[in-house]
Amino acid sequence: MKHTHLAFESHFDVVLETADAQAAVMTLGQGESTGGPDNRHAASAQWLYVVAGTGEAVVEGETVDLGPRTLLLIEAGEAHEIRCTGDEPLRTLNVYVPPEY
């Protein structure tokens, strides 16, 4: 068994992993973004769960609004960008299957 307490203090931090999956926390400040049209995880699906804040994801050119309790699946190979659009930081828990980082 592995466990941890999540602290959303850094931009991106891998918090737990096994040979099959990896969990990371990400915090984006007001107006910040990560990724873009060339950002792809060739072999890993990314499950992004919004813990707090608001934002948007652009996945393969389609925009999705993000808010607390939103769960987004970015499938392996899909181009994506995540943006914080609110006044508060966007805090997400991300699971990569298989590990990406």
Domains of the chain (ranges, CATH numbers): 12-97 (2.60.120.10)
Q: Whose structure tokens read 């828990």?
A: 93
pTM (predicted TM-score): 0.95
Q: Is 7 exposed, middle or buried (0-12, 13-18, 19+ CB in 10 A)?
A: exposed
Per residue in 78-97, pLDDT tens? 999 999 999 999 999 999 99
Per residue in 5-51, pLDDT tens? 999 988 999 999 999 999 999 999 999 999 999 999 999 999 999 99
